Amino acid sequence: MTIVRPGANPAPLPKPAPDRKPRLRRVPVPDVKGVLATLWKERLAYLFLAPFLISFVAFILVPVALALLMSFTSYDAFNVPRFVGFDNFIALITQDTIFMKYALPNTLKFAFFVGPLGYALSFFIAWLIYQLPKAIRDVVTLAVYAPSMAGGVALTVVWQAAFSGDYVGYINHFMLKYGMISKPVLWLQDPKYLLIIMIVVTIWMSFGVGFLSLLAGLDTVNKELYEAGKIDGISSRLQEVYYITIPSMKPQMLFSAVMAIVGTLKAGAISVQLTGMPITPSYSGHLILNHIDDYAFIRFELGYASTVSIVLLAMSYFALKLSYRLFGQKEGE
């Protein structure tokens, strides 16, 4: 309690705080005129971008959106699509034994060996080629890159002849000649060997654009960094690669990783090209892409095929996110 002396002026009472009404935040309105003015100002640049943008929208965005919509329907390409909700996704997990027992495990095995191991092999081969004298480097690069340009022709001519199941097949002839086998082996019809052959052939054909980007990235590394590294205590080539080469060429590493992921997950046609059958023996080479082709173009269950496509798209997305996490440029680099 405050005591007021006689003759003293009492202390002024505090004024009550004024009632403050909450202010409403203004929602920013898009400046349409400004956007149109910018587009018109940069019209020449957008004119050059137009062919790619139109193709990207027409052949990427629109098909993905349609596949997402169709995945919730039952559609056979003849009748009107019927909405079924999440029934296709539930059936994929609970009823599709071919997908869960063969397509998904085979795709994961195939992606593991062809993806990370093939990617590491591409980097190793590119690094070895870069150590060669410049006079012969281009010739060796062309020899390694050529199989990726040949594609299906190389599969038919080289690998089908090599793994032919008769006596004139290159591998059977060699192994019979030296007594390694007693009778010809049906390499492309035997479930024990088909997936392994698919992995070997795909890695052999995987030295494409991603391989060239790695080789070009090695040429962009500043040579002075190696000299500075020797002063700082780097004593081996392996340390040079880990501490200098890889951090200096992360954009090329990222591009090559993206190309490897895309190439791995879309490599379903290789089993058909090797065996000549849409469904491989005992589903031994059955990948998710083959599962999509089976339901889309053989059974005409386009709604269910779209569901499997969305699952494959989700797998690709998470693999790409992992690649960006590993090789993407971080802040301050």
Q: Which domains does the chain have, with CATH numbers?
A: 97-327 (1.10.3720.10)
pTM across the whole model = 0.78
Per-residue pLDDT averaged across 188-193, rounded? 89
Length of the chain: 333
CA 202 to centroid of chain Cα atoms: 15
Contacts of 20 (CB under 8 A, 6+ apart): none
Average pLDDT over residues 45-60: 91
Q: Mean of the pLDDT values across residues 187-202?
A: 89
Lowest mean pLDDT across 58-62, 219-223, 274-278, 323-327: 323-327
For 118-174, the pLDDT digits (tens) are: 888 889 999 999 888 888 888 998 888 887 777 666 666 788 888 888 888 889 999
Position 56 scores a pLDDT of: 92
Rounded to 5°, angle at Cα 295 from 291 and 296? 110
Question: 3-state DSSP call for residue 82?
Answer: strand
Task: State the pLDDT confidence band at 32, using cuts at 50, 70 and 90.
Answer: confident
Q: Name every residue whose Cβ is closer than 8 Å to that of residue 286 and which is 6 or more positions away in sequence.
A: 98, 102, 103, 106, 271, 279, 280
